Amino acid sequence: MDKARTVADFPSRREVAAASLGVLIVPRHVLGGSGYKAPSDTLRIAAVGVGGMGRRYIAGCAEERIVLLCDVDPSFAAPVLRKYSGARVCTDWRQMLDKEERTLTRSS
């Protein structure tokens, strides 16, 4: 016959917590794979003046998320605007900042 189990036969809450702690603490690269970048680690970039030197600066941020591009001469900045076609485009940085400020204050 099987022996009746008593409370002493079961692990304590501390033992269960200690055993599960190893499961909870896992390095990020294990969960996301090699080269994984969490969305919270990705910057959202808005750039002003992307036709000249700004083109090179934006290229240095290519791993980030380019969300807004602003240049007074869209024809000169066309290669950059085509490359980041998902970004919103504007020609006046003052209007861009006003619009973004209104967006941020509404979402806060």
Q: What's residue 24's pLDDT?
A: 57
pLDDT digits (tens, 9 = 90+) for 72-91: 998 999 999 999 999 999 99
Q: Domain spans of the chain?
A: 34-107
> Is-contact 45 70, C-beta < 8 A?
no
CA dihedral (101, 102, 107, 108) positive or negative? positive
pTM: 0.61
Distance CA 94, CA 90 (A): 10
